[in-house]
Amino acid sequence: MSTLTIGLVLPDVLGTYGDDGNALVLRQRARMRGLDAEIHRITLGDAIPETLDMYTVGGGEDVAQRLATEHLLADGGLTRAANAGRPILSICAGLQVLGRTFTASDSVVEGLGLIDATTDVLSKRMIGEITSTPQLEGLTETLTGFANHMGSTVLGSDASPLGTLTKGTGNTDEGEQVSYEGAVQGSVIATYMHGPVLARNPQLADLILARAMGVDMSELPEVTGQFADQLNGEVQQLRKERLR
Ligand code: GLN
């Protein structure tokens, strides 16, 4: 297969709490499997290439996320990539931006509408660790991350939660969806979990790689050599300790 291309979308405005690291994790996990992979850093003002294999979008402050939204709406490249089924991982403000509308700095802003979700304001800022049980086929391991947001997101019928919350506050702090964390719709996977989330949830990284390659996770090339020891030993052990 040719080089896998990873679009790091607007890291200059969206990328709090290590979210840029999600692109690094995808590239590294591809390389561990002997696959060539490269990151395309796309900053504010750049056209968003619509034919990359996968994309990551990070979180950000209200003003930054409004700037990002304006650019993404005007450019249209990310929307076309999503409509073509290219995997997109979107974090926190990224989740809100890809939704229908969000409230930031007291104004309601139109998002990209790639996720059937509307974001209002939480009664109290959510800051802290969260865990959830994944609801997305292919994922079996507990999801974990760090959240810091004021957004209260409610999903419509076209979107499904990424996980069912087991610790912390998820998409919203009241109503029927209090146990929902994140959103999945088509090729978009979105979550409030920073971390970066893919460093803390390697199975989710592999799911995105597999989707980008159009294969099942079980068909990803084997990890061999020193990388295999790391994956099977240290990393898993650290993860278990973290979840304790
Ligand atoms: N500005 C958004 C909020 O507070 C997103 C924050 C973030 O991405 N961490 O809800």
- Residue from 241, 242, 209, 219 nearest 4 by CA: 209
**For 132, phi and psi rounded to 5 degrees?**
-150, 160
Q: Of all atoms in ligand 1, which is nearest to the CA of residue 147?
A: 9
* 160 close to ligand 1 (CB < 6 Angstrom): no
Confidence (pLDDT) at 230 = 72
Q: How far is the CA of 96 from the centre of ligand 1 (A)?
A: 8
Element holding 41 (H helix, E strand)? strand 37-42
Residues 11-16, mean pLDDT to the nearest whole number: 95
Band of pLDDT at residue 118, cut at 50, 70 and 90: very high
Band of pLDDT at residue 59, cut at 50, 70 and 90: very high
Residues forming the active site: 92, 194
Confidence (pLDDT) at 237 = 74
Residues 129-152, mean pLDDT to the nearest whole number: 97
Enumerate the β-bridge partners of residue 161.
none
Arithmetic mean of pLDDT over the chain: 94
* 61 close to ligand 1 (CB < 6 Angstrom): yes
Band of pLDDT at residue 99, cut at 50, 70 and 90: very high
Q: Of all atoms in ligand 1, which is nearest to the CA of residue 17?
A: 9
Is residue 190 within 8 Å of residue 90, measured between CB atoms? yes
Tell whether the model's pLDDT for residue 14 goes beyond 90: yes
Residues 77-93, mean pLDDT to the nearest whole number: 98
* 58 close to ligand 1 (CB < 6 Angstrom): no
Confidence (pLDDT) at 226 = 78
d(CA 68, CA 129): 26
Is residue 193 within 8 Å of residue 130, measured between CB atoms? yes
Confidence (pLDDT) at 52 = 98
Band of pLDDT at residue 1, cut at 50, 70 and 90: low
Band of pLDDT at residue 244, cut at 50, 70 and 90: low
d(CA 189, CA 160): 10
Is residue 55 within 8 Å of residue 13, measured between CB atoms? no
Residues 5-12, mean pLDDT to the nearest whole number: 98
Confidence (pLDDT) at 229 = 75
Encode 185-222: b = buried (16+ Cβ within 10 Å), e = exposed: bebbbbbbbbbbbbbbbbebbbbbbbbbbeeeeeebee
Q: How far is the CA of 169 from the centre of ligand 1 (A)?
A: 14
* 103 close to ligand 1 (CB < 6 Angstrom): no
Tell whether the model's pLDDT for residue 182 goes beyond 70: yes
Residues 128-151, mean pLDDT to the nearest whole number: 97
Tell whether the model's pLDDT for residue 119 goes beyond 80: yes
d(CA 15, CA 99): 18
- List of domains in the chain: 4-242 (3.40.50.880)
* 60 close to ligand 1 (CB < 6 Angstrom): yes
Angle formed at CA 18 by CA 215 and CA 202, multiple of 5 degrees:
30
Q: How far is the CA of 152 from the centre of ligand 1 (A)?
A: 10
What's the gap between Cα 197 and its chain centre?
7
- Residue from 56, 76, 64, 59 nearest 8 by CA: 56
142-175 pLDDT, tens per residue? 999 999 999 999 999 999 999 999 999 999 999 9
d(CA 59, CA 20): 9
